[in-house]
Amino acid sequence: MAGCGFARPEPTAHLVFSEDESCPPVGVWADGRTFPITLALPGRFNYANALMAAVAAECHGIDPAVALAAMSEVVQVAGRFTTRAFGDVQARLMLAKNPAGWSELLDLVAGGDAPLVVSINARIADGADPSWLWDVPFERLAGRTVVATGDRCRDLSVRLQYGGVAHQMREDPVAAVQAAVLDQPDQVVDVIGNYTAFNELLGAKA
């Protein structure tokens, strides 16, 4: 409403990405200072999180450059983005807990050609209603090798079918990871799961 007095506050810092993907993004502070952000973790969302953490660190007396240097050494967060073996198959595990998180991770993997396993449960920690699957742009996975798994793999399979994504279905998550590489044996499998599905694979016996 015009004249209400509400407006977006001026940001303390904002993130600038280079058109050259080999150059790291830069955090630009309102006072003109700039700090490149180099991370081992992938994804635009992780760069945004790092910038916000650096701003918070400065509020507590920590130099942003020092904070960002420490963040650059992080290679996984509670198992997220860790790579582990399931038999002879290597898999990179990723966690998505809501449609926004799913969208960000689908953006991350969309440019690759690695086999992809999507694992969906609907237990207490996940929420029992899987209707949120229809809020996720799974259409981006068309043309990839995709395997649906987890307790609600049938619900997921229906969503993928309507999204035009050819896929296999395996109820057992470990079997799904192993099935994903039948045509691409040297590839590392990307695995995205919701909360209990992710933790199930993180703790599964190899």
| Contact predicate 165/155, CB 8 Å | no
Residue 4's pLDDT is 80
Residue 111's pLDDT is 77
> Mean pLDDT, to the nearest integer, of 154-159?
97
Q: Tell me how far apart the terminal alpha carbons of the chain are, to the nearest angstrom.
A: 57
Higher-scoring residue by pLDDT: 113, 151? 151
Report residue 1's pLDDT band, with 50, 70 and 90 as the boundaries: low
> Mean pLDDT, to the nearest integer, of 170-190?
90
Instruction: Give the model confidence (pLDDT) of 43-69 as tens digits.
Output: 899 999 999 999 999 999 999 999 999
> Mean pLDDT, to the nearest integer, of 126-139?
95
Q: What is the mean pLDDT of the chain?
A: 93
Which CATH architecture fits 83-202? Answer: Alpha-Beta Complex (3.90)
Sorted by where each begins, the domain ranges of the chain are 13-71, 83-202
Higher-scoring residue by pLDDT: 9, 200? 200
> Mean pLDDT, to the nearest integer, of 38-42?
94
Residue 131's pLDDT is 95
Share of the chain above pLDDT 90, in %: 81
Check whether 206 has a pLDDT greater than 70.
Answer: no
Instruction: Give the model confidence (pLDDT) of 182-205 as tens digits.
Output: 877 788 999 999 999 999 999 887
| Contact predicate 185/114, CB 8 Å | no
> Mean pLDDT, to the nearest integer, of 151-156?
97
> Mean pLDDT, to the nearest integer, of 147-158?
97
| Contact predicate 40/47, CB 8 Å | no
Check whether 175 has a pLDDT greater than 80.
Answer: yes
Report which residue type is found at 184.
Answer: Q
Instruction: Give the model confidence (pLDDT) of 73-117 as tens digits.
Output: 999 999 999 999 998 899 999 999 999 999 999 999 987 889 999
CA atoms within 13 A on the CB side of 127: 9
**Residues whose CB falls within 8 Å of the CB of residue 158, separated by 6 or more in sequence, listed in order:** none
